[in-house]
Amino acid sequence: MSELQKSFAKAKLAKLPPEAPPFSMHPPRDEDDSESASSTGTVVPSPSRQLFARSRGSTCGVIFRLLAILTHPRSNSVETLNWTDFFTQELFLIQETDSARITHHVYLTPPTNSGPLFVMHHGAGSSGLSFATCAEEIRKILPKAGILSIDARDHGQTSTYTETGEGKVELDLSLETLNRDLVFIVRETQSKMGWESLPDIVLVGHSLGGAVITDVAKKGELGPKVLAYAVLDVVEGSAMDALQSMEKYLSTRPTRFPSLASGIEWHTRSRTIRNRTSARVSVPSLLYEEAAPTDPSKPWVWRTNLAETKPFWENWFIGLSKKFLEARGGKLLLLAGTDRLDKELMIGQMQGKYQLQVFPEAGHFVQEDQPVKTAQVLVDFYKRNDRSALVLPPKVADMQASAAMKQGAEAGAVPPFGRGQGSSHKP
């Protein structure tokens, strides 16, 4: 700051009242950075925001707003956010099989006052924190709702080892295995939390997670407590087509990062995640720092090697559309574009078999790019399928009997179900 600027500031500050007017210490979170950032991350203010317009208020107000901006930067920060800002607790659930010991890691906010439980399953290469900002918004709209967001095996903090604990087991991300994992997690969470019975459940799955929750819903292994299921941005036809170019896409991704901040920055600049706030909480769970990196200048690498999951790709999505349409419960398909619909789903949509919602402004990670809108759609979807809110109409026979009795009483006639005492009767 130059001497001229300092003297100007001192002159203005000397005229200010002894106490400054209050201002928010927490800048609002942008749901979609597409309005404020280009594809290369350059800040481009919207004309409607009039960022440099002269304030109608006093000069003091302008100075305080400038001070607030300087001391409290907006959400263009790449500083990481903690999971505790979005969930109340985490659980580590131990599952032992004949050949492995799996420690499932989940993020949880328990439901209250008989609220529903939204069970979230992320996509391949992601983590349970992919739903963090969406979970926060759901709770704002429906405070009694619970959120259970899992780290799938070999993702996030979920780990799989041999029974002896001496080494990792062979990678198994088949749909059948992921199905069993999800059912185990829900049941084990019920046991850990001491719930006498499961709350009403809405299954929510993004990409690969959509295939998993659809398979669970189709097989009915969680029983009638599953009210409905929502699939986010995946359908069988487009998923199978996309697999053909998946290896090429993976070859273009960076394999290493110098820091977590650079990992967050890559996700937002590449538009992989279009909401910086969500990237700040979800991206750190996708990377880990190598103890002895081959490139010391870039020690942060991907936690999940997506290339190694190739043997399971087709297994995830074959038959998805058919299962989605046939499983019991309410059905929601939330897409980033209608071009993703395949023939089977287009026919099902015309027949009214499921609810379709499209967010054309979102990318593949719809729940991260548009957490507020996604949360509102999910809460409305739950309410439409909430059995406790249903008021069944009276039976037709009861309505007819009630109407007949009312009509007879008004006319002074003999009740339809027999004559009263003392009534005359001629043979």
What's 268's domain CATH number? 3.40.50.1820
281 Cβ partners below 8 Å, 6+ apart?
A: 80, 81, 82, 83, 85, 86, 129, 132, 133
Write the pLDDT tens digit of every residue in 247-296: 888 999 999 999 999 999 999 999 999 999 999 999 999 999 999 999 99
pLDDT of residue 34: 42
253 Cβ partners below 8 Å, 6+ apart?
A: none
265 Cβ partners below 8 Å, 6+ apart?
A: 41, 78
150 Cβ partners below 8 Å, 6+ apart?
A: 104, 105, 106, 107, 119, 120, 121, 122, 128, 158, 181, 182, 185
Q: Is residue 231 part of a domain?
A: yes
Q: How confident is the model at residue 404 (pLDDT cuts 50, 70, 90)?
A: confident
* 327: its two tokens: 């499983």
pLDDT of residue 327: 97
Q: Is residue 16 part of a domain?
A: no
The average confidence (pLDDT) of the chain is 83
> Could you give the residue numbers annotated as active site?
207, 233, 364
Mapping DSSP to helix (H, G, I), strand (E, B) and coil, where does residue 290 land? coil
| Length of the chain as a residue count | 427
8: pLDDT strictly greater than 80? no
* 281: its two tokens: 């909480």
Q: Is residue 34 part of a domain?
A: no
Q: Give the torsion through C-alpha atoms of 77, 79, 84, 86, to 10 deg.
A: 30
Strand 100-109 with 117-121, pairing: unpaired
Query: CA 383, CA 9: separation in Å to the nearest integer?
Result: 55
324: pLDDT strictly greater than 80? yes
Query: CA 155, CA 151: separation in Å to the nearest integer?
Result: 6
Query: CA 217, CA 334: separation in Å to the nearest integer?
Result: 17
Unique residue bearing structure tokens 């969680």:
222
CB 185 within 8 A of CB 104: yes
Q: How confident is the model at residue 49 (pLDDT cuts 50, 70, 90)?
A: very low
Q: Is residue 74 part of a domain?
A: no
Q: Is residue 417 part of a domain?
A: no
CB atoms under 10 Å from CB of 421, counted, come to: 5
**Looking at the 3D structure of the chain, how many domains does it have?**
1
Closest to 346 (Cα-Cα) out of 198, 236, 229: 236
413: pLDDT strictly greater than 80? no
Q: Is residue 351 part of a domain?
A: yes
* 334: its two tokens: 């939330």
Backbone angles phi, psi at 256, to 5 degrees: -145, 155
pLDDT of residue 243: 87
pLDDT of residue 21: 42
Rg (CA), the chain: 28
- Domain extent at residue 223: 83-387
Strand 100-109 with 146-151, pairing: antiparallel
Query: CA 81, CA 253: separation in Å to the nearest integer?
Result: 23
269-274, long-range: CB < 8 A, 24+ apart:
269/39, 269/40, 269/41, 271/39, 271/363, 272/363, 272/364, 272/365, 273/363, 273/365, 273/368, 273/369, 274/32, 274/33, 274/34, 274/362, 274/363, 274/365, 274/368, 274/369
Mapping DSSP to helix (H, G, I), strand (E, B) and coil, where does residue 288 land? strand
pTM: 0.75
Q: Is residue 49 part of a domain?
A: no
Closest to 83 (Cα-Cα) out of 132, 42, 130, 41: 132
Unique residue bearing structure tokens 């920055």:
265
pLDDT of residue 145: 98
Report the range out of 168-172, 202-206, 400-404 with the highest average pLDDT: 202-206
Write the pLDDT tens digit of every residue in 61-111: 545 444 444 444 445 677 999 999 999 999 999 999 888 899 999 999 999
Strand 201-206 with 117-121, pairing: parallel
pLDDT of residue 193: 97
* 161: its two tokens: 């080892």
Q: Is residue 96 part of a domain?
A: yes
Whole-angstrom distance between the N-terminal and C-terminal Cα of the chain?
115
35: pLDDT strictly greater than 50? no
- 236 alpha carbon, distance to own chain's centre: 21
Planar angle of CA 312, 183, 199, nearest 5 degrees? 140
pLDDT of residue 403: 77
